[in-house]
Amino acid sequence: MGSVNSRHNQQDWVDIRHDGETGIETIQAHFTGHAYDPHDHDELLLGVTQQGLQRFQCNRFVHTSCPGRAILIEPGAMHDGHATQPEGFTYVMIYLPQPWVATMMQRRKMGDIAGVGAAFRHTLTDDPHLITAISQAWCSMHYGEGRLARDEHLDNLMTLLSAHLALRKPSTMNASLVQMNRVCEYLRENMAQDIGLDTLSRETGLDRFRLSRQFKKAFGQSPHAWLVRLRLRTARRMLAQGMTPVQVASLVGFADQSHLGRWFQRAYRVSPAAYQRKCTNVLD
């Protein structure tokens, strides 16, 4: 399990640890003022606010978490974060990879969340049993209490988490959403390229202005913002696999390492190099 502590000023700090066996990450952080720009994750996020008021926008609603309250964010949900008081806020978070969660759910015959097929019933909860389970699982992993403690606390967490998951039923997509999903697929396949609106317009048969409007209506963000989020999530995975920031920047489509670094820092409040060291214990 690797770790890194990244301080951005005397008051703000981030401490991240990574469990190589499960792929689960744990974080503890403190922020005053602005914390994160809008971003999303491939993982399920389970957290607990420890101190202060933590305000963030998620699923197009503004939420405020107070000490002792749990935060539940599903994969792909855009969210940001900031403090509402001068003393800031402190929180802990567990990042559960979707494949790991899917395996745990299938073992319990709880359904399948593959392809982001699940959402949390509530973004914030005061469920005392779940809050305790998140805290215990976080402690066992963040402080390296060993596999037995980790496994027992994670098993308990998954059992309690099932009551907060709402599996989504497949829905029939209208023609507009089909076109917008085609745009997403094109961006996934060509993320390393310098893509313009005219290219996306040719792919869909829509003029660029109508395309931009429909994309934002479907996903709540512009095609460029969606592409940046995709590049960041992909970069995070590649860095965890041991690729260097220079390699990653080129492969995901950022202009250079500094361009990747600026976006990565805004979204995750840690540099790509520090994050890469944390996941692999590889030195610069």
Residue 20 — very low, low, confident or very high, per pLDDT cuts 50/70/90? confident
Whether the pLDDT of residue 118 is over 70: the answer is no
Which residue, 45, 65, 47, 46, is CA-closest to 55? Answer: 65
**pLDDT at position 174, please?**
76
Q: How many Å separate Cα 248 from the centre of its chain?
A: 18
Residue 225 — very low, low, confident or very high, per pLDDT cuts 50/70/90? very high
Strand order in the sheet with 61-65: 34-39, 79-83, 54-58, 61-65
Whether the pLDDT of residue 111 is over 80: the answer is no
Tokens encoding 248: 């990653």
What phi, psi does 179 have (nearest 5°)? -65, -40
Which residue, 264, 245, 274, 273, is CA-closest to 36? Answer: 264
The half-sphere exposure of 152 on its side-chain side, counting CA atoms within 13 A, is 8
How buried is 30 (Cβ within 10 angstroms: 0-12 exposed, 13-18 middle, 19+ buried)? buried
Tokens encoding 73: 């964010």
Cβ neighbors of 92 (< 8 A, separation 6 or more) are 26, 27, 28, 47, 48, 50, 134, 135, 138, 142
Measured CA distances, 171 to 60, 148, 177, 178, 182 (Å): 21, 41, 11, 12, 17
Looking at every residue in the chain, the average pLDDT score rounds to: 88
Span 44-68, pLDDT tens digits: 999 999 999 999 999 889 999 999 9
Span 172-204, pLDDT tens digits: 557 788 889 999 999 999 999 999 999 999 988
DSSP 3-state helix, strand, coil percentages of the chain (rounded to 5)? 45, 25, 30
Tokens encoding 23: 């792929």
CB-CB contact of 62 with 55 (8 Å):
yes
Per DSSP, 10 falls in state S
Cβ neighbors of 260 (< 8 A, separation 6 or more) are 235, 245, 248, 249, 252, 254, 272
**pLDDT at position 4, please?**
45
CB-CB contact of 271 with 265 (8 Å):
yes
Span 122-163, pLDDT tens digits: 999 999 999 999 999 999 999 999 999 999 999 999 999 988
Tokens encoding 226: 């969606």
CB atoms within 10 A of CB 132: 16
In one-letter notation, the amino acid at residue 166 is: A
